[in-house]
Structures are given as structure tokens and as C-alpha cells.
């Protein structure tokens, strides 16, 4: 399954969006242009579709309620709409549409104003339906979140549920013990990464660690082998890396000695090897040398080559190095441009198409556009 198209209305700083999505997408734009907000659309759908503790009300509340979610640039129109087109191979496309707004009076509940599910030409759901008209309390819940109501489109509910968002903060992973047990739901910062590795069947786990060690060969050449281990005394899971070392026997290091960049790469490569659903990745360039960042698209390619199915991957980035490869197609880059009327996604101009075709990289052609205007030198005082 793939998400091939996304339409948004009044979602956070996007007043109106209509974009097609490739299997690999790089989202670029200045700070606060909405890259994370764009990724949050898919986390939101995951939260709505979640089998336990999920649902529309919870997903909206978790984000601070409708006033925080609805685009500030929206004037009369108070409705938020998300429309996603999904495609499984050559099958007919699915289209899932959800619109909702705050009740104008009373409890100001978040109510669904439209929920539609289409499979090819067939309309499977069209709400509000007759039952909704009899009892408007029903409009507080999507059919997507109800197992009794989503039977005919369970496939897409499951796809939304299994979306992964990854923004590994190495310190949280390394010093989990000292920080204490609190982990944010769905673990976006990778605190529970070692537990995920621990829960994976040994054969799969060993095979993945071997592939990751291979993929890392070029970037961290001193790292020769990766293995999983459990501390005998505490039972805590650990990763160990065998490194080139002048004292051969002392060559195994635990994750707390890994560099931040190595840990982020391991988490990222693991997620590429795990599952077939949508992968949302925030700024993979952090803590990494530019030359390594330049190689990330090749690492993704290398891992994908070894798998029958590939994960669709949406990456937010500020890195010119990441987009400097000739293998990246300009249509794989979404360029965000903020304005007082909301952020828009700007497509390729005719000139830009020509420049890309003539061999310039997306970093050279598209990145300069995302630099904040009038930023010369920040004054010191
Ligand atoms: N409902 C809303 N309406 C308008 N703007 C909003 C809304 N919700 C959030 N924003 C704005 O979105 C911006 C933050 O967007 P986001 O975090 O997605 O940026 P980003 O591109 O990921 O930035 P960075 O590169 O710093 O990570 C903030 O300026 C915030 O004010
Ligand atoms: Mg961000």
C-alpha cells in the first residue's frame, strides 16, 4: 500500500494543499514552515485509527483541541478536511475523506461533518448517514476507528495504524535508565528502541543487525559487527558493536558508547527493515557528517534492494547534502513556502524542470528557494 495523493483543508498552517506523493518524499522549507505539521497528518490518522485508546476525540484532544489544529488563516470556513488516496499495487485506489469541525455552541464537541470511503468507483461510506441524523452523538466517532463499522475497509485502517514516526534522540535511548521509565506514547524519540529489538524473533533480529552492520560499513568503518545482548544482572536489553580496537578482546562496546550519529543511523536502518507501512522520518541528518548524509539515499536504496516490499518514506530535512544526489528526482521533493495566508507547497517551475534535467541536483535548484528572506547576518548585541 502507498499513499499517492494528499489533500488538506485548514490543517494547522496549511489552508489548502493538494499534492501527489511518490514512494520517497523529502519535505523542505524554512523553520516553522510546517514540515513537522505535514508529517503530523499521518500521525493523526494513525491516532484516529488506533485500535485501543485512539479515536477522533482523543487525536484532537492530544493536539490541544480544534483551536490549535484549525488553520489560523482560515476565516469563515471552520472545517478541517484530510483526504488521502491510497493504492495497493495495481488495484483500484482507495480514497478516505474526513472533515470535522467544532460544534458552534454547547459542549463544542468535535463533530464529523463528512466521512467518505471510496474503493475505485464504489462508495462504501458516506456520512452523515441516516443513523447519524437520528443521533448526532454518533458524529463524535469516525467509522475508521470502529471495528464494527470499518469491516469493508479494514485494510486502510490497518495501514494507518501501522505508520511509524521516528525522531530518535540518542540521549533518551542511551540514558533511559537514569531518565526514568516515562516514554511518550508510540515512542517517537526511540526511547524504547532496544525493547523493540528485544521483542523481535531472534532469527529476524540477527538477520537485521547483520544487514545494518553491512550498511554501516562505509559510514562507520571501525564497526565490524552488531549483536543483541541482555544484561545478566538487570535483564535490560543492549546492543553491542564489535569495533576495531588495539586491544582485540576489549572490542565489544555497548550502545551507551556508540556515537549519537551511529545510534540514529541504526534506528533509522532498523525501521527501514521493519514492516511495510508508512515511515515518517524527521531530519535524519542530525549528528551526522555531511558526507554520510550525502549517502543516506544510497543506504535507503541498499536496504530496499534486499527486501521484497519497500516502505514509503516521508523525510523532513534542512540538509543540502541529503538532496545533493543525482538519484533524487525533483518530483520527490515537497517545497514548503510560508505566508500570512498559510503555507503552500510549490511545484516545479518550467525553468527548474530544465535545470534538473540538465543535471543539477535538487539541492542546487530547490534549496535556495527555502532560505528565509532578508537573512543576512544576525546582529549581536
Ligand atoms: N493551527 C495553526 N494555524 C496556523 N499556524 C499553525 C497552526 N498550528 C501550528 N502552526 C504554526 O506552525 C509552525 C510550526 O510548524 P512546524 O513545527 O511543522 O515547522 P517545521 O517546518 O517542522 O520547522 P522546523 O524546521 O523548525 O522543525 C509554527 O510557526 C506554528 O505557529
Ligand atoms: Mg520540524
pLDDT band of residue 7 (cuts 50, 70, 90) is very high
Instruction: Please choose, from the candidates 38, 16, 14, 8, the residue with its C-alpha nearest in 3D space to the C-alpha of residue 334.
Output: 38
Mutate to test the pocket of ligand 1, among 36, 188, 285, 372 (most ligand atoms within 8 A of CB): 36
pLDDT in tens, 111-143: 999 999 999 999 999 999 999 999 999 999 999
Q: Which ligand is nearest to the CA of 29?
A: 1
Cα-flanking dihedrals φ and ψ of residue 9, to 5°? Answer: -135, 125
- Which residue among 8, 10, 12, 73 has the greatest number of ligand 1 atoms within 8 angstroms of its CB, and so is best to mutate? 12
Residue 68: partners with Cβ closer than 8 Å, 6 or more residues away: none
Architecture of domain 164-276+286-312: 3-Layer(aba) Sandwich (3.40)
Q: Is the dihedral of CA 164, 17, 54, 64 positive or negative?
A: positive
How far is Cα 347 from Cα 76, in angstroms, rounded to an integer? 27
* Chain mean pLDDT for the chain: 89
- Residues 203-216 have pLDDT tens digits of 999 999 999 998 88
- Residue 248: the pLDDT is 57
Domain ranges of the chain: 164-276+286-312
Closest CA to 118 of 100, 99, 93: 93
The pLDDT tens digits for 287-343 are: 888 988 998 888 888 888 878 888 999 999 999 999 998 789 999 999 999 999 999
Q: Is the pLDDT of residue 183 over 80?
A: no
| H or E element in which residue 134 lies | helix 130-134
Q: What pLDDT score does 335 carry?
A: 96
Is a pLDDT exceeding 70 seen at residue 145?
Answer: yes
Residues, the chain: 381
% of the chain surpassing 90 pLDDT: 61
283 Cα nearest atom in ligand 1: 27
Q: Average pLDDT of 92-105?
A: 95
Residues 6+ apart with CB under 8 A from 334: 19, 25, 26, 27, 28, 38, 345
| Closest residue CA from atom 25 of ligand 1 | 31
Q: Write out pLDDT tens, residues 228-274.
A: 998 888 888 889 988 876 665 657 888 888 888 888 889 989 989 98
Tell me how far apart the alpha carbons of residues 336 and 345 are, in angstroms, rounded to a whole number.
Answer: 5
Amino acid at each position: 500500500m502507498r499513499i499517492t495523493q494528499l489533500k488538506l483543508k485548514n490543517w494547522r498552517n496549511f489552508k489548502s494543499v493538494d499534492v501527489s506523493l511518490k514512494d520517497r518524499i523529502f519535505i523542505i522549507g524554512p523553520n516553522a514552515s510546517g514540515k513537522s505539521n505535514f508529517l503530523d497528518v499521518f500521525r493523526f490518522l494513525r491516532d484516529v485509527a488506533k485500535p485501543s485508546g485512539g479515536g477522533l476525540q482523543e487525536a484532537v484532544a492530544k493536539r490541544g483541541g480544534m483551536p490549535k489544529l484549525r488553520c489560523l488563516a482560515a476565516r469563515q470556513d471552520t472545517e478541517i478536511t484530510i483526504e488521502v488516496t491510497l493504492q495497493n499495487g495495481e488495484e483500484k485506489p482507495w480514497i478516505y475523506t474526513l472533515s470535522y469541525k467544532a460544534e458552534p455552541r454547547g459542549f463544542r464537541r468535535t463533530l464529523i461533518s463528512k466521512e467518505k470511503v471510496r474503493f475505485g468507483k464504489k462508495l462504501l461510506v458516506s456520512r452523515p448517514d441516516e443513523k447519524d441524523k437520528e443521533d448526532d452523538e454518533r458524529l463524535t466517532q469516525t467509522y475508521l476507528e470502529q471495528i464494527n463499522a470499518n469491516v469493508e475497509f479494514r485494510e486502510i485502517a490497518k495501514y494507518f495504524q501501522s505508520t511509524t514516526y521516528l525522531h530518535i534522540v540518542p540521549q533518551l535511548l542511551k540514558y533511559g535508565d537514569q531518565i526514568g521509565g516515562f516514554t511518550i506514547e508510540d515512542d517517537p524519540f526511540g526511547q524504547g528502541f532496544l525493547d523493540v529489538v528485544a521483542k523481535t524473533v531472534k532469527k529476524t533480529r540477527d538477520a537485521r543487525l547483520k544487514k545494518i552492520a553491512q550498511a554501516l560499513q562505509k559510514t562507520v568503518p571501525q564497526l565490524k559487527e552488531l549483536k543483541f545482548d541482555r544484561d545478566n544482572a538487570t535483564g535490560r536489553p543492549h546492543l553491542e558493536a564489535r569495533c576495531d580496537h588495539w586491544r582485540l578482546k576489549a572490542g565489544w562496546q555497548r550502545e551507551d558508547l556508540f556515537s549519537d550519529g551511529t545510534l540514529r543511523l541504526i534506528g533509522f536502518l532498523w525501521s527501514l527493515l521493519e514492516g511495510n507501512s508508512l515511515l515518517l522520518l524527521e531530519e535524519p541528518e542530525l549528528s551526522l557528517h555531511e558526507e554520510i548524509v550525502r549517502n543516506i539515499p544510497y543506504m535507503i536504496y541498499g536496504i530496499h534492494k534486499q527486501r521484497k516490499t519497500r516502505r514509503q518514506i516521508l523525510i523532513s530535512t534542512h540538509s543540502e547534502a541529503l538532496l545533493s544526489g543525482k538519484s533524487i528526482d525533483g518530483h520527490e521533493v515537497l517545497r514548503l513556502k510560508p505566508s500570512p495566508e498559510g503555507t503552500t507547497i510549490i511545484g516545479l517551475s518550467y525553468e527548474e524542470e530544465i535545470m534538473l534535467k540538465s543535471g543539477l541536483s535538487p539541492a542546487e535548484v530547490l534549496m535556495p528557494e527555502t532560505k528565509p528572506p532578508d537573512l543576512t547576518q544576525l546582529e549581536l548585541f
